[in-house]
Amino acid sequence: MREYTEKTVGCPHCGHSIRITLDASNGSQEFYDDCPACCHAIHLNMMVDEQADKIELVVDADDEQIF
């Protein structure tokens, strides 16, 4: 299984595209990153599906805002 994957996500605050390198070797995890354009925190939720050899990334703002 590939352990490192690059994904491009859109900032939930301003829409800026951010490239993120994911390390799937530790399994599913949640983490935060700061948007380089608007400096808001972005909540990233990585789900590793080892059986399907697939990584899913869910991005949302940290403020319960629904789009």
| Contacts with Zn ion, residue ranges (CB under 5 A) | 11, 13-14, 16, 35, 37-38
Q: Indicate the residue among 47 and 61 with the shorter CB distance to Zn ion.
A: 61
Q: Indicate the residue among 8 and 26 with the shorter CB distance to Zn ion.
A: 8
Cβ atoms of 18 and 26 within 8 Å: the answer is no
The CA distance from 44 to 59, in Å, is 5
Distance of closest approach, residue 35 Cβ to Zn ion, in angstroms: 3
Which positions ≥6 away from 57 have C-beta within 8 Å? 7, 9, 20, 22, 44, 45, 46, 47
Q: Indicate the residue among 35 and 48 with the shorter CB distance to Zn ion.
A: 35
